Amino acid sequence: MEPGSNSQMKLVTGDAGYLLEDVPHLTDYIPDMPTYPNPLRFNPAYSVVKQYFVDMDDTVAQKIVVHKDSPRGIHFRRAGPRQKVYFNSDEVHACIVTCGGLCPGLNTVIRELVCGLSYMYGVNKVLGIDGGYRGFYAKNTVTLTPKVVNDIHKRGGTSLGTSRGGFDTCKIVDSIQDRGINQVYIIGGDGTQKGATAIYEEIRQRGLKVAVVGIPKTIDNDIPVIDKSFGFDTAVEEAQRAINAAHVEAESTENGVGVVKLMGRHCGFIAMYATLASRDVDCCLIPESPFYLEGEGGLFEFIEKRLKENGHMVIVIAEGAGQELLSERMQSGDQKDESGNKLLPDVGLWISHRIKDHFANQRKMLLTLKYIDPTYMIRAIPGNASDNVYCTLLAQSAVHGAMAGYTGFTSGLVNGRHTYIPFNRITEKQKKVVITDRMWARLLSSTNQPSFLGPKVVVESKKEDEPPTDLFDGENCKDDQSGK
Ligand SMILES: Nc1ncnc2c1ncn2[C@@H]1O[C@H](COP(=O)(O)OP(=O)(O)O)[C@@H](O)[C@H]1O
Ligand SMILES: O=P(O)(O)OC[C@H]1O[C@](O)(COP(=O)(O)O)[C@@H](O)[C@@H]1O
Ligand SMILES: [Mg+2]
């Protein structure tokens, strides 16, 4: 392939409908690159592992629930160390950047990239880019060594800093070229991965031997294809503390109502899983499931019923839920953050006011409502144990991929296997909760809340839905094109 040709789609077909959505390789546009034996071969820790190297033909199926005659479908290249590498250890000059909102586990990914490069591949030149994309051209860099990053996984946030906006492809690639960087590790969400795509395209256009690797980050879990994003488990766990507090407050007073807002601007994964985990939640409201307040089958009617039955209740609401119900006065209009994400008014505050107002003025019922917004507290903590392991494996997979000469890919977990996914598959859609799937039904049956949908609407939305892609047990998420 020539520099500048369509570099995104590398499809390999096989028998019985097998399709490999492969990732680019530096040799696609730089012919005759020298190769080296993988230094892991000589590493005492790994040299004894049988079949440590991944077979070149190993791929991972996206769809694992199949029928006898189903086509084999889309596959991704399996992540892991290769026999041959395309970088000499001394030659590698890597950099790491973190962009977008915070997420538990960011520091663990940074740490394990640095340690993986150093301990597995003997790479000693790793730069940290300060403050997100704009740090490439407007800020200082930091030298990263295993010693510098040794303890950072114990802290929340990102030791490199982050930012929204400030993306400038040419200035970033100029900086990469000027500094002699040849491996770029980019940790961030959907916006960041779109930026990574542009950087990769420009690097390819210039014919540079630079591997561009993404590590998907999003607390909202809205990145498609991958099983789940790092930090999600931690967020769900931490959300329990807020839900517990809301529950304790609510059950301590007569007609006590606890409202907890959780993150999720376009999707309700955190709210849904936090609700399922807690069992103290009476109603979970997410962006994917429209609801209404007044009249038969509405939220107010349900609240009244629950208060009469139990004397208290807890509502969990995702930040993007019910936005269409907010009055124009409350809407933020076209206001966007620096990255172009629409700014959302506080739906938790809005719903709390509406509930209080309705019961005080329409129903003349005394209730005590406590609103808890733990969103930034949840986002700012370090990753929990399972997320830390996940972050470690994601980072190590990313390093193995770059050393093996792959580029323009995101390191991600698909059906429990680490894979290399082409950027375009990560950025083309957003993952959403599918409310006609079994997981949402499980939630509805556990809270016994109204679905806010008549049977007719359910049948219609069932018809419209594409078959769901996998999440955890292969259900309950949907790729959506709506984007920002
Ligand atoms: N379409 C895009 N093309 C290039 N860069 C983008 C794009 N969207 C966002 N970015 C850049 O990616 C970075 C992070 O994006 P943002 O949407 O804030 O967070 P996230 O990556 O977590 O979704 C910002 O620096 C932003 O300028
Ligand atoms: O106040 P900020 O930093 O702009 O972040 C708010 C947004 O960040 C998030 O936590 C995650 O968004 P990103 O994945 O785009 O960074 C959203 O849930 C939330 O709406
Ligand atoms: Mg985003």
Question: Residue 470 above 60 pLDDT?
Answer: no
- Among the atoms of ligand 1, which is closest to the Cα of residue 188? 21
Ligand 2 in reach of 220 Cβ (< 6 A): yes
264 labelled as ligand-binding? yes
Residues of the chain with CATH 3.40.50.450: 11-229+383-427
Of the candidate ranges 250-254, 378-382, 460-464, the one whose mean pLDDT is the lowest: 460-464
Q: How confident is the model at residue 250 (pLDDT cuts 50, 70, 90)?
A: very high
Q: Is 484 helix (H, G, I), strand (E, B) or coil?
A: coil
Residues of the chain by 3-state class (helix, strand, coil), percent to 5? 35, 20, 45
Helix (H), strand (E) at residue 412: strand 409-414
Distances (CA, A) of 223 to 251, 334, 353: 37, 24, 33
pLDDT digits (tens, 9 = 90+) for 90-146: 999 999 999 999 999 999 999 999 999 999 999 999 999 999 999 999 988 999 999
pLDDT score, position 102:
98
pLDDT, tens digit (0-9, with 9 covering 90-100), for 386-437: 999 999 999 999 999 999 999 999 999 999 999 999 999 999 999 999 999 9
Backbone φ and ψ of 302, nearest 5°: -65, -40
Can you tell me the distance from the alpha carbon of 449 to that of 440, in angstroms, rounded to the nearest whole number? 11
Ligand nearest to the Cα of 344, by number: 2
Residues 16-27 as b/e (b if ≥16 CB within 10 A, e otherwise) read eeebbbbbbbbe
The radius of gyration of the chain's CA atoms, rounded to the nearest angstrom, is: 24
**Residues facing residue 314 across a β-bridge:** 258
CATH of domain 232-329+344-381+434-460: 3.40.50.460
Q: Is residue 167 over pLDDT 80?
A: yes
pLDDT band at 7 (very low <50, low <70, confident <90, very high): low
Q: Which two tokens stand for residue 398?
A: 């990313």
Global pTM?
0.93
**Ligand 2 near 196 CB (within 6 A):** no
What confidence score (pLDDT) does residue 47 get?
79
Decide whether any atom of ligand 2 lies within 6 Å of the 469 Cβ: no
Residues of the chain with CATH 3.40.50.460: 232-329+344-381+434-460
Query: Is the Cβ–Cβ distance between 308 and 323 less than 8 Å?
Result: no
pLDDT at 49: 81
DSSP single-letter state for residue 342: B
Please tell me the predicted confidence (pLDDT) of residue 288: 97
Is residue 99 within 6 Å of ligand 2 at its C-beta? no
Which CATH number applies to 11-229+383-427: 3.40.50.880, 3.40.50.450, 3.20.20.370, 3.30.70.260? Answer: 3.40.50.450
Interface ipTM: 0.98
- The proportion of the chain whose per-residue pLDDT surpasses 70, expressed as a percent, equals 91
Other Cβ atoms less than 10 A from the Cβ of 300: the count is 17
Neighbours of ion ligand 3 (CB under 5 A): 189-191
Strand, coil or helix: what is 396? helix
Please report, to the nearest 10 degrees, the dihedral formed by the alpha carbons of residues 23, 29, 35, 41 taken in order.
Answer: -10
- Chain segment 325-337, per-residue pLDDT in tens: 986 667 667 789 9
**Ligand 1 centre distance from Cα of residue 451 (Å):** 34
The burial class, CB within 10 Å (0-12 / 13-18 / 19+), for 477 is buried
**pLDDT tens-digit readout, 185-226:** 999 999 999 999 999 999 999 999 999 999 999 999 999 999
pLDDT band (50, 70, 90) for residue 5? very low
The one-letter amino acid code at 237 reads E
Q: For ligand 2, pick from 193, 218, 377 the residue to mutate: most ligand atoms within 8 Å of CB.
A: 218
Cα 191 to averaged position of ligand 3 atoms, centre (Å): 5
Express as a percent the part of the chain with pLDDT over 90: 85
